[in-house]
Amino acid sequence: MTGSTIGRGERSPTPGALSACGVARVLLAAIMASAAPAVAGFGSAALAQQTKPHQMTERAERIIRTLRPAAASRYSDAAYANRIIEMEIPLPGRDSGRKIILNYNHSVDLAVYYNFDSFDITPETAEVLDDLGYALEASELGGGEYLIAGHTDATGKDAYNQWLSESRALSAKRYLVKNFRIDPDRLIVVGFGETRLADQRRPRDGINRRVEITLIEQAYSGPTAERFEVPRTTYRKGPAPSAQDLGLAEYSGARLPAAAAEDCIGTGGIVDPRPADTGLDDFGNRPTPVPCSDVTGEVTASEPQPVAEETPEPAPRADAATPVVSPPANPAADQNSAIAN
């Protein structure tokens, strides 16, 4: 049986041919339909693990070489030990602080680009942070803890610059944790504001606006070249970051069981009277959380008082022309940054 012409000279198939054709099409559609969810599911799982494709650039490799911890024998070198310092970080919502040891032999400064009065990640900032993310994922740095510190120039008020530097460092950490396989507990966030300028001769220059990444020593008990305290952030615009955000949950007692945490309220003012260089302070390690039931006396926890918001002073825009950033002025003013932005 011949079929009639359809459209442009096409002929309708015979009933037998139509049946075979229909079966083939149904089977093909079923296969595609069953495969589609599997493909979509695989893609979603991959994105859940890592949203950035792996790409080790030359800059990422330089970051790895710089941040990679050195052999223990290096600590006997006086020049090497002279770049190891002690830093006290104020704990959020408490009067106390926590000491960490920073090794500025393994530190890099990244020139990052934020819009004025903003800590939102820009495409230029994301490009630099991607290289840092690839580096922190590398096996050579696996398990190491690092400081993410924000710096500003000296334009504007001190309190505002302190808040802005902390906010920018925190936004950098959140970007890294979201887009790479990085444990948030490996990154401690602080803001230095304008207190540690890269170039003190040019305090308002864009070279001072940077994000610093420095190795945190976990088992160092030797001498330190300097000791300083991070300024406490008093100016606020929006909600204050939590101890978990800043990477200080274990230090601040936020991970204690509920009963132990309640028992420890008001003990933040307790200080260790021993000299800092005795090596008797857990060797820089995080303390094991324990209840505070042996603390006698009735102590009332101090609540941080809200601070009135300030209006930031306008600053000259130089972000787009920020030059290659040099390392922290002190204690490692002469170190060479591994980053060429």
**pLDDT 10s digits, 203-244:** 999 888 899 999 999 888 889 999 999 999 999 998 999 999
What dotted CATH number matches 58-321?
A: 3.30.1330.60
Output Rg (C-alpha) for the chain, integer angstroms: 28
CB 135 within 8 A of CB 153: no
Report the interhelical angle of 58-67 vs 123-137 (nearest 10°).
50
Query: CA nearest 148: which of 81, 226, 215?
Result: 215
CA distance 173 to 117: 19
Residue-level pLDDT at 170: 96
12: which 2 tokens?
Answer: 């309708």
Strand-pair category, 97-110 with 84-90: antiparallel
Residue-level pLDDT at 301: 44
Burial class (CB in 10 A: 0-12, 13-18, 19+), 146: buried
pLDDT band at 306 (very low <50, low <70, confident <90, very high): low
Query: CA nearest 316: which of 208, 198, 237?
Result: 208
9: which 2 tokens?
Answer: 């000279």
Query: CA nearest 263: which of 304, 294, 303?
Result: 294
Higher pLDDT, 220 or 173: 173
Residue-level pLDDT at 53: 61
Burial class (CB in 10 A: 0-12, 13-18, 19+), 82: middle
CA distance 54 to 131: 10
Amino acid at 303: E
Strand-pair category, 145-151 with 10-11: unpaired
CA distance 63 to 140: 11
The terminus-to-terminus CA distance of the chain in angstroms comes to 76
**H helix and E strand count, the chain:** 8, 8
Residue-level pLDDT at 277: 53
CB 11 within 8 A of CB 4: yes
pTM confidence score:
0.63
Per residue in 63-78, pLDDT (tens digit) is 999 999 998 889 999 9
Segment among 94-98, 121-125, 252-256, 287-291 with least mean pLDDT: 287-291
CA distance 194 to 66: 25
CA distance 241 to 232: 13
Phi-psi group of 283: left, alpha or beta (phi > 0 → left; psi -120 to 50 → alpha; rest → beta):
left
Whole-number average pLDDT of the chain: 73
Q: What is the mean pLDDT of residues 311-316?
A: 52
Q: What is the mean pLDDT of residues 268-274?
A: 59
Kindly write down the DSSP assignment for every residue of 256-306, as one continuous string: S-HHHHHHTTT-TT----S-TTSS-SGGGPPPPP---TT--S---PPPPPP
Domain boundaries of the chain, sorted by first residue: 14-49, 58-321
CA distance 206 to 198: 10
pLDDT band at 276 (very low <50, low <70, confident <90, very high): low
156: which 2 tokens?
Answer: 């504007």
- Specify the DSSP class assigned to residue 322: -
Per residue in 112-143, pLDDT (tens digit) is 878 877 898 989 889 999 999 999 999 999 88
Q: What is the mean pLDDT of residues 29-57?
A: 45
Query: Is pLDDT of 52 > 50?
Result: yes
pLDDT band at 251 (very low <50, low <70, confident <90, very high): confident
